[in-house]
Structure 1
């Protein structure tokens, strides 16, 4: 599978389609898996519940890096940030979209653990 820095799928091989479904049907903002992660609870169903919070933090860290790379005037980035930042609660605090005090994950600081392959 090949995707953009905002996690929009460009190409899927047959194995990716078998595992994740045909993601090419998503258009506009919904083409971004990060957008769907924070706005559509169904997109998180392929993950075990205990992985939701760490995966949310990972997506937020990646989104922050993308924001820095793309610069201040990028319309696609700004549109995604606006939607994820305002609607990204995902409904349930256990889904990892909000922290313990209800603060959205796009705000505040987060620890992300990286592992190096040898």
Structure 2
């Protein structure tokens, strides 16, 4: 799914499709955030610094193993992105901001295409 999102982002950039670019970048950022290591996780071979409290030093101090997400995890993240946009579009429509509501619905549609089974 991530590869498809990235490929679509490249195509959207070439086509200068701002709605698709925004939606796809947001979804990819949400996936990257979900892969991040939680706070407080440290590598085994890293030692603390005597000069700066909480600083890590040593081989691999700046590197952290990222989480590996399954296809189901990726699908769940994209579904959540679609749901957020749909809910926000509904709120904007109730407030009379149909321009913003339409843009969010269009973004949700771009992401929803990735949730449909491929023929």
TM-score after normalising by structure 1? 0.36
The higher-RCO structure (CA 8 Å, 6+ apart) is: 2
TM-score after normalising by structure 2? 0.36
Flag the structure with higher helix content.
2
**Higher radius of gyration, 1 or 2:** 2
